[in-house]
Structures are given as C-alpha cells and as structure tokens.
Amino acid sequence: MDRDAWNDLAIFAAIAEAGGFTKAGVVLGVSASALSHRMRRMEARMGVRLLNRTTRSVGMTEAGESLLASLRPAMGEIDAALTLLGSDRARPAGRVRVSAHRSAAFGLILPRLNRFADDYPEITVEVVVDDGLVDIVRAGLDAGIRRLPSLEQDMVSVRLDDGVHVTMAASPAYLLAHGVPQTPRDLKRHRCINYRLPTAGSLYRWTFERDGQTTTMDVPSSLVTNDIDMLCEAAAAGLGVACILEPQAAPWLASGALVSVLDAWRPRLPPNYLYYAGRRNLPPALRLFIDAMKRPLHD
C-alpha cells in the first residue's frame, strides 16, 4: 500500500472519530474543505461511499462503519508499538554487536563492561573477536574497532587511545643459547616467530623506530602463526624472538618468561578507533555503548 493510501485511511479515521470535517481539521491542522476533497478522492478511488454528508453533519455509511471497525484494531496496534518504542528510548535495551581485534577486545572493551552492565543491565554487548578486517555493514554488526590505517571508508570514527608500543621479546633460555640481538640487523641471524595477517594473508613486516627514523624489514621464520596467544607461548617456549604488542607481552615480561630486546627500537602502532555507519538515528543501545567507550578507563 502506498503512502497516500495510508494517509487517507488515517484521515478517514480521524474524521469518523471527530464526527465531522471541521473538528477533524482542528486536530489535524488542515482545513475542512481540504479534508472533504481528500475523502471524495479516496471514495472515487475505492469505488464506494464512506461518508454521508449534509450541510450540517457528516455520518458514516455502512461501508464506512465496516472499514472503521477493521481499522481500529490495526491502529491500536500501531499506537501500542509507538508507545513501546518510546518506552525503549526511555529504558535502554537491546543488543550491540561489535567487531574488534584481540588486543582491543581485551584492552579497550572488556575493562569497560562491568560499569556498562551495571548502568544498562538490559543491553547485551556481543564482541566478535577477529584480527582481520571486517565489513561491519555486510556482517550485520553495529560497530568495529581497528587501527587508523585499517578504518573502513565512509564511517564515523572515535579515537580510543594513543596507540601502543610493540615489544621484541624472547625467553631467557633462548637468549642464553643464541645471544641477545643488539640491532635489528642482528635478527637476520636469529630464529624469529612471525605473525600472519588474517586479512592480507602476508607476514607482518617488523618495524623499528629510533631517533625519528623508521625501518621495516623481513625476518627469518622459525615458526609462523596467525594466533597471538600461540605467538607468546612459542616465544616463552624458547622457539625464537617474537614481535608482540606491549599489553599482550606485559604479563609474560612481568613473570620473567620473556625478556624484551631491542628496546631502543620499539615502534608505536597507530591509535585504535571505534567506527560505525552514520551519525543520525543511532539505536539508543549503540549510542550508549559509544559514549561508554569514550570514557577514560579509570574515571
């Protein structure tokens, strides 16, 4: 049914409930003559008279009574749906589905979820952990978190952090057996544990920064994996030097299972951004989640 037909039915119901064109016109903000013209056009299109008109009053025909009786339940359901929608806006509920790479899921989302769950117990947050690039619209997701170079086009983005350092690390046993690299070039003579990028399928090229200069190089592989946990476990097992995000390396370094090397050449990765499609008419649950992600972790 087209928009004009829906409008005509709503106008007919308003006239019937008000008992005339004049009163209905006051309610709808339309002149009585415009309403009368609209009803004549509707009756002509339907091929049936709905209203009996005299100079003093307007009454419904039998067909009009039958149509109104059918419309009332449907209009009541529409009113109830609108009321429920308003209630949902007043009491946030629903689900937010977010794609995030592993370090963002654990380092940015998870620490904020306790407070979010306390504030909005009827909102469910679903975190899809995926280190690859994700088309959130195609995947039916509400938002994603990726680093600046990986942002999708035509997305609204919110910066979440300042980026993190990358740490080169190996086990004490490995360094005792093979020596400690003093420069990035030394890695050419070492066993290295490489990370395969999930989306591109290529190996991550190790990057080094010092005195404002950036160097990128390939290193020899003793092991290749696309799983961050396996990367850390393999390094701790003495299989070689690994390139690990600082937050992920921190517990291993603190326990002594790993030792950092080449600290003077540690690079910093770009910041993480929360991104989503469009600014207008965001679902209330998504807007609240975005606001929660903007808050400092320790406020």
Residue ranges per structural domain of the chain: 3-90, 94-162+271-294, 166-265
pLDDT at 82: 65
- DSSP letter at 95? E
Question: In this predicted model, what pLDDT tens digit does every residue of 199-210 receive, in sequence order?
Answer: 778 898 999 999
Q: Where is pLDDT greater, at 153 or 196? A: 196
Class in CATH terms, 166-265: alpha beta
Tell me what pLDDT residue 117 has. 93
The pLDDT tens digits for 120-132 are 999 999 999 988 8
pLDDT digits (tens, 9 = 90+) for 22-42: 888 877 788 888 888 888 888
- Contact assessment for residue 243 and residue 204, using Cβ atoms and an 8 Å cutoff: yes
pLDDT at residue 89 tops 60? no
Same fold, 3-90 and 166-265: no
Top CATH class, 94-162+271-294: alpha beta
Residues in CB range of 11: below 8 A, 6 or more apart: 24, 28, 35, 38, 39, 42
Q: Extract long-range pairs of 231-237: CB within 8 Å, 24+ residues apart.
A: 231/193, 231/195, 232/258, 234/193, 235/169, 235/170, 235/171, 235/174, 235/193, 236/171, 237/171
Is residue 234 within 8 A of residue 223, CB to CB? The reply is yes
Taking the complete model, does pTM exceed 0.75, yes or no?
no
Query: Is residue 85's pLDDT more than 70?
Result: no
What is the edge-to-edge ordering of all strands in the sheet holding 241-245?
221-225, 192-195, 241-245, 166-170, 259-261
Residue 115's pLDDT band, with cuts at 50, 70 and 90, is very high
Give 218-252 pLDDT, tens digit per residue: 999 999 999 989 999 999 999 999 999 998 999 99
Closest listed residue to residue 261, CA positions, set 196, 178, 184, 195: 184
Question: Which helix (DSSP H) or strand (DSSP E) does residue 78 occupy?
Answer: helix 62-90
Mean pLDDT of the region 76-102: 74
Q: Give the pLDDT band (50/70/90) at residue 188.
A: very high
3-90, which class in CATH?
mainly alpha
